[in-house]
Amino acid sequence: MRDVIIIGSGPAGYTAGIYTARAGLKPLLIASSVEAGGELMKTTEVENFPGFPEGLQGPELMANFQAQAERFGTEILLDDVVEVDLKGDVKIVKTGGGETFEAKTVILATGAAYRELGLPREKELSGHGVSWCATCDGFFFREKTIAVVGGGDSAMEEASFLTRFASKVHLIHRRDTFKASKIMQDRALANPKIEVIYNSEIAELHGDAKLESVTLRNTVDGSTSELALDGLFIAVGNDPRVWLVENQIELTAEKFIQVEGRSSKTSLPGVFACGDVIDPTYRQAITAAGSGCVAALDAEHYLANH
């Protein structure tokens, strides 16, 4: 039986790997078969991860995380976890490749998936004008015309943040009232660079190598119009990846894994959670990495006491 199995290979998972490996716990990190490296694999330049003053590409940063975890003996398996039973003292983890593992502790670092609009060219233009992260990519849109789609707090926050860079920010929302809190709405609506396009959804994305324009569809009368854009930020919510554990572990009202205070302790003894799967608020690579460190230390203490 293993001491630690880590599920997930973003900054939280790899940091948990680095710490538990250095503690001599020989962790097994199950990284996924196609999505290893997590959300940062979809990002281009990362300029805000401390320690890299010149910035680096998202995939390069994740390769560094992986190399550092492996250097101390983290075993990495490129497979998908398809089933877990975490209730007993012996935790059972099954993979799509047909393997079954047993462990004394499990660290859940399965992340969150940004919700997509579901448009045909969305994936192809991701990183080429279409983004899900204003903090990561806003800097590339200095003096450009961009749009944010969404009507929640994230959309308000991103639109307000992006006015630091862009000359114009269209805020596209499918209804005529916002879901966002009043204070966030008021801040966005008071900003002279932000212009709201109500009752509209994006029907099509256009551009060859990068986004150039979108087709808008009016949700009331169905009419369409074209809007030229250099960038589009999609902020229509995100979903923590909890399907593996949702029937056996406590979740928050927003469906994130519930943890105790500032720790990574879940409702099940010996099961710890970290990164975006517990974080409805900050969702940064650096906060996820810090959270992975917390989970590793919590798992280490648990093993020492059991």
Residues contributing to the site for ligand NAP (CB under 6 A): 115, 117, 149-155, 157, 174-175, 179, 201, 235-238, 254, 280
Query: Residue 44 CB, nearest distance to ligand NAP (Å)?
Result: 22
The residue of the chain with the least Cβ separation from ligand NAP equals: 152
Query: Residue 97 CB, nearest distance to ligand NAP (Å)?
Result: 34
Query: Residue 81 CB, nearest distance to ligand NAP (Å)?
Result: 26
Find the catalytic residue in 80, 133, 230, 276.
Answer: 133
Query: Is 57 or 219 the residue whose CB approaches ligand NAP more closely?
Result: 219
Active site residue 80: no
Query: Residue 179 CB, nearest distance to ligand NAP (Å)?
Result: 4
Provide the token pair at 214: 């979108």
Using CA of residue 164, residue 165, residue 169, residue 175, what is the dihedral sign?
A: negative
Measuring CA to CA, which residue among 85, 92, 112 is closest to residue 11? 112
Query: Residue 61 CB, nearest distance to ligand NAP (Å)?
Result: 24
Provide the token pair at 231: 């960038």
Query: Is 26 or 255 the residue whose CB approaches ligand NAP more closely?
Result: 255
Query: Is 17 or 111 the residue whose CB approaches ligand NAP more closely?
Result: 111
Query: Residue 279 CB, nearest distance to ligand NAP (Å)?
Result: 10
Active site residue 293: no
Active site residue 133: yes
Strands (E), 14-131: 28-30, 45-46, 56-57, 75-77, 81-85, 91-95, 100-108, 112-114, 130-131
Rg (CA), the chain: 21
Provide the token pair at 298: 């919590």
CA distance 260 to 258: 7
With helix as H, strand as E and coil as C, how does 175-224 read?
Answer: CCCCCCCHHHHHHHHCCCCEEEECCEEEEEEECCCCCCEEEEEECCCCCE
Query: Is 104 or 241 the residue whose CB approaches ligand NAP more closely?
Result: 241
Q: Kindly list the distances between the CA atom of residue 3 and the CA atoms of 79, 102, 245, in Å, as whole numbers in the listed order.
A: 19, 9, 20
Measuring CA to CA, which residue among 301, 299, 239 is closest to residue 6? 299
Find the catalytic residue in 3, 85, 89, 137.
Answer: 137
Query: Is 175 or 306 the residue whose CB approaches ligand NAP more closely?
Result: 175
CA distance 286 to 295: 14
Query: Is 238 or 266 the residue whose CB approaches ligand NAP more closely?
Result: 238
CA distance 273 to 109: 6
CA distance 84 to 257: 15
Which residues are known to be catalytic?
Answer: 133, 136-137
